[in-house]
């Protein structure tokens, strides 16, 4: 029997259109020093919540600096659920031990995933991408974040 076998390409994941996003200005409730005293080394719980977002919003400081973008019901539910499970497994390092100056005064933590360019002896002094220690040590968790990152990048590329 002489025939051709064809395989249908998997359909591209559906990306919902980005909703209208309102801008929400928030100001700190306390100084960095007070925050460090109150929260360092502690887990936050529902008693710490002063505002719960229920619709998509761009949260900015009084000076107009974007702090984060909250997108409600834009990402696929499966990616969101997998990401929440993954985030609970991540091992964060205290920000005060960070090599990044901007984080050293933060009361939070960091996980540095990805690649860093380091000088290479084999490349004649050229730069060579090297996996970060967090990436090597938490590879399954890093890999589980990829679908969310892919969907996020597609949203950013979507035409208005």
Checking if the pLDDT of 122 tops 90, the result is no
For the stretch 38-88, pLDDT in tens is 888 888 888 888 888 998 888 999 998 888 888 888 888 888 899 999 999
| Predicted pLDDT at 97 | 86
**Model pLDDT, residue 149:** 84
Going by the DSSP 8-state scheme, the letter that residue 6 receives in this structure is -
Tens digits of residue pLDDT in 74-94: 888 888 899 999 999 999 999
How confident is the model at residue 2, as a pLDDT? 52
User: pLDDT digits over 19-28, tens only?
Assistant: 577 889 999 8
5, 142 Cβ separation under 8 angstroms: no
Is the model's pLDDT at 18 over the cut of 70? no
């Amino acid at each position: 029997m002489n025939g051709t076998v064809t395989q249908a390409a998997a359909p591209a994941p559906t990306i919902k259109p980005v909703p209208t996003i309102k801008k929400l200005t928030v100001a700190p409730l306390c100084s960095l020093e007070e925050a460090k005293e109150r929260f360092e080394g502690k887990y936050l719980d529902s008693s710490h919540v002063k505002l719960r977002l229920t619709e998509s919003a761009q949260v900015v400081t009084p000076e107009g600096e974007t702090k984060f973008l909250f997108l409600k019901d834009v990402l696929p539910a499966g990616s969101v659920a997998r990401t929440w499970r993954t985030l609970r497994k991540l091992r964060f390092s205290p920000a005060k031990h960070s090599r990044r100056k901007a984080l050293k005064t933060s009361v939070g933590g960091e996980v540095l995933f990805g690649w860093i360019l380091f000088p290479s002896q084999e490349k004649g002094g050229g730069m060579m991408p090297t996996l970060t220690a967090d990436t090597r040590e938490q590879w399954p968790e890093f890999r589980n974040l990829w679908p969310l990152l892919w969907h996020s990048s597609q949203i950013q590329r979507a035409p208005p």
